[in-house]
Amino acid sequence: MGRRQHSERYIDLIMEDGEERTARQVLDAIMNKWFDSGNRSTIYVPEHRKICHYLKANRKYLAIRKSRYGIVYRLDSVGEEE
């Protein structure tokens, strides 16, 4: 597997707790985690469509169900490679 970008690291960091989230919830969690920790420096926040594409293309995330807010994903604990 190639190098992960910073945005992918943030997505993985948020999703590793095993909770089910939509791409919008992942984006909100990234923002909350960054600003609640007291950081005031610039951060690259991935776009909503980048998060959607990453969750859909990465095999370690399972699409659980569709909600009115988007597809709900969860970290696949069986398929972890790391």
Q: What is the DSSP string of 2-69?
A: -PPPHHHHHHHHHHTT---B-HHHHHHHHHHHHHHTT--S---PPPHHHHHHHHHH-TTEEEEEEETT
pLDDT for residue 82: 47
Residue 3 pLDDT greater than 70, yes or no: no
Q: Structurally, how many domains does the chain consist of?
A: 1
Q: Is residue 41 part of a domain?
A: yes
pLDDT in tens, 20-64: 999 999 999 988 887 777 766 677 788 999 999 999 999 999 999
φ and ψ at residue 7, rounded to 5 degrees: -65, -35
CATH code (residue 14) = 1.10.10.10
Domain that holds residue 64: 6-75
Q: Is residue 81 part of a domain?
A: no
